[in-house]
């Protein structure tokens, strides 16, 4: 089944674009959480067991906080760069 873009009105096109953007945002969030979990688990848990020690919990919390802080800085910087590039044209 293919979409005939000539038969899609502006409102439908906007709805489709919004849906695609939401799906991409969800996918990006899931990927971010997976990377954060993998990275922090590898860095903080030397011997996996049925529970985390208090030091492992603290390490994972700090690692997650640092990872999210870094991700937010990169995201803001990237968004600002895109904004500057768009203003040039």
Task: Dump pLDDT digits (tens) for 33-84.
Answer: 999 999 999 999 999 999 999 999 999 999 999 999 999 999 999 999 999 9
Distance CA 20, CA 23 (A): 5
pLDDT surpasses 80 at 3: no
Q: What topology does CATH give the domain 11-45+52-88?
A: Helix Hairpins (1.10.287)
Q: Which two tokens stand for residue 45?
A: 């848990």
Supply the pLDDT for residue 88: 81
Q: Is the pTM of this model over 0.75?
A: no
Q: Which pLDDT does position 58 carry in this prediction?
A: 97
Give the pLDDT confidence score for residue 72 in this predicted structure: 94
Q: Which of 32, 30, 54, 31 is nearest to 44 (CA)?
A: 54
Residue 32, Cβ density class (10 Å: 0-12 exposed, 13-18 middle, ≥19 buried): middle
């Amino acid at each position: 089944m293919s979409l005939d873009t000539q038969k899609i009105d502006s409102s439908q096109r906007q709805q489709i674009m919004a849906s695609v953007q939401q799906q991409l945002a969800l996918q990006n969030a899931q990927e971010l959480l997976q990377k954060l979990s993998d990275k922090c688990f590898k860095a903080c848990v030397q011997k996996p067991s049925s529970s985390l020690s208090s030091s492992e919990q603290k390490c994972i919390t700090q690692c997650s906080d640092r990872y999210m802080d870094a991700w937010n800085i990169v995201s803001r910087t990237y968004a600002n760069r895109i904004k500057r590039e768009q203003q040039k044209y």
